[in-house]
A and B are shown apart, each in its own frame.
Chain A
Amino acid sequence: MTELQAERAAMVPRSQARPQRWRYLDVSIALAAFLVLAMLPMFIGSKALLDFVIRCSAFGLFATSLNLLVGFTGMVSFGHGMFFGLGAYSFGLIMQRTGVPVPVAFVATLVITTIVAAVIGAICVRLKEIYFAFVTLAFQMLIHSTILSWVSLTGGDQGLRGGIPRPAFFGIDLTNHVHLYITSCALLVTGLLLMRQIAQSPFGYTLRMIRDNANRASFVGIDVWRAKLTIFVLAALFASTGGVIMALFVSGAYPEFAYWTISGEGIFINMLGGVTTFLGPMVGTVLLLILNDTVTRMTEYYGIVLGIVILFFAIGLRKGLMDFAVEWYAQRRSGPAERG
């Protein structure tokens, strides 16, 4: 047995065992995170903090799902925010017009998102790079203008007003602030866990391969178009869930939810946190929201401060915070080993 074969033989059982172990680890981290978040209201009575976590859940789901496209598949979508808006509007409209229970409305919203995302995705994913970015942006603006002009359904530029009814279900009363908080956390943690599973699955590795070399992927027999469309629809579902949380939080839906700036912010969050790690977008979300809240309180010239921070990341660090941290950690670990 050559050295190489021996190595390979030793490798096989380990690599088979690894996915299983990782999955248990992910689930336990998710459970622990959820428990910590759920216990928070018992110790800290601050409503502002709970609001902050709810907003983080909405934008975190949105940004992480965008990273499935940008970071894992290399599809720079500039219109991902349309699904955020679509989720908020579909959920709000279903609740206002039909009065079905919340879970039914949630599932119906996901069904609507799947259909819309499949249609738009089928058109968009054929295009490459900057053209893909533009067509998704165009669709985003198309949906935004539709919301603005279809006044009888959506309320036009006033948005969905009059509040979204939130009848209690399974003992969960979403009009109660703590219940809403815990539901958001549950949605966030479940969403992140599911996306993590997608990212670590063989399908997730197929996506990385498409990102690195789409031609090679199609030579080894992968249907690139179908894989891209699948991840486009899946990412849309999580973005739409973020929109649902937002609609529940503000008890309404506004055209700004579907405006292109939401997509811009999503991309920015990804860059801020870093696209190479799974939790990078989540870190970016927290950073951006803190930045948002502190800067708007301190100065009216919010744009200048935010702009300078972006420049610092884009020209100074040239990568997101998590990317930077991971690289720094890897360097520190390998540093002494090289010397010794």
Chain B
Amino acid sequence: MDLDTLTGCLASSACLVTQTTSGFIIGMLLFLVAVGLTLIFGVLKVVNFSHGAFYMFGAYFAMTAYQLSGSFALAMLCGAAGTALLGLVFERVFMSRVYGADVLMQLLVCYAFVLIFDDVVRMIWGPEFKSMGMPSAFQVAPLFIAGGVVPPYYLLLIGVALSAAVILGLGLARTKVGKVIRAAAHNPGMVSALGINTGLIYGGVFALGGMLAGLAGALAAPVRSLTPGMGFSVLIESFIVTVIGGMGSILGALIGAILIGMIRSFGSLGFPLFTEGLMYLFMVIVLVSRPTGLFGKEVA
């Protein structure tokens, strides 16, 4: 425990800005993964335990695309589109077979794919740590805000994640497709009786979730090291985020992600060894006081 560092940091504006930014970075990446999880749970009623693998594939796709083309935008696109396709195939071929089965079966199918995907990545890209490197467009001097250091890339990352949140929120609330998705979440039988292909919606939502996780992975590739199994810690953390925010709630995922980001960022100063423990402790406290999460609806 190192409370002096924590109080010292809270007293200085420079440290406060630096830590808050890094908290936001962690939070925004988590949000992109968690919002996919929460969407898939909300519509398909499936807890996608293999969601971390999409994050991992996004990062690896982006790295390969960047190395081949040298274009950062193309790398992001490849990361997002590749995982969207992967999500669609995964849902149609495997997950759609276990919708009627109990939770345990769904968890097992996902667990199997966590193992398979990690090994596939190890086969294609090798077991060692890889790094994509910061694209040259962002290799500029960092900004100084109130004495704190903020790399420009972080701003891009936060911007992309926040716009994803806004687009998703508005898209679900206002557009026709959004309404159909919400209807399918509420009563799939009725939606399908009205002549809408629910299989397509399910596949689409899964692809969307996969795409967001892939985008998170692609955005994280320049700032994190890539390794098979990198999806796992992200998965566990985004679970915590969805559970804290409430399963199925997008706003909950956003708030939960920022909270967890801040806990990680400031917790690593005050409790360097117990940072993870702090997150779990927070999750336990939230779940005990509000079992359905901060923004979750009461489950019937």
Contact = CB atoms under 8 A, between A and B. Distances in A.
Interface in A108-137: 123, 126-131, 133-135, 137
Contact of B104 (A267, A302, A315): A267
Contacts of A141: 236, 276-277, 280
Chain A contact residues (Cβ within 8 angstroms of B): what range? Answer: 35 or more
A318 B101 contact: yes
B122 interface: yes
Contacts of B240: 138
Contacts of B239: 134, 137
Contacts of A70: 104
B103 A315 contact: no
Contact of A301 (B97, B114, B119, B291): B119
B263 to A, nearest CB: 13
A131 B101 CA distance: 18
Interface string B147-188: 000000000000000000000000000000000000000000
A314 B119 contact: no
Given A264-B111, A267-B107, A310-B111, A139 B284 contact: yes
| Dominant secondary structure at the B interface | helix
B291 A131 contact: yes
A32 interface: no
A148 interface: yes
Q: Chain A CB within 10 Å — which of B104, B118, B243, B288 has the most?
A: B104
Interface in B244-298: 247, 271, 273-274, 276-277, 280-281, 283-284, 287-288, 291-292
Interface string B100-116: 01011101110111111
B94 interface: yes
B120 interface: yes
B276 A134 contact: no
B193 interface: no
| Dominant secondary structure at the A interface | helix
Contacts of B274: 145-146, 149
B287 A135 contact: yes
A310 B167 CA distance: 38
30 contacts: A76-B104, A123-B284, A123-B288, A130-B247, A131-B243, A131-B291, A131-B292, A133-B103, A135-B288, A138-B240, A139-B280, A141-B276, A142-B277, A149-B271, A151-B273, A156-B273, A267-B107, A267-B108, A271-B104, A271-B105, A271-B108, A303-B116, A307-B116, A308-B112, A308-B116, A310-B108, A310-B115, A311-B109, A315-B94, A315-B98
Interface of B: 47, 94, 97-98, 101, 103-105, 107-109, 111-116, 118-120, 122-123, 236, 239-240, 243, 247, 271, 273-274, 276-277, 280-281, 283-284, 287-288, 291-292, 299
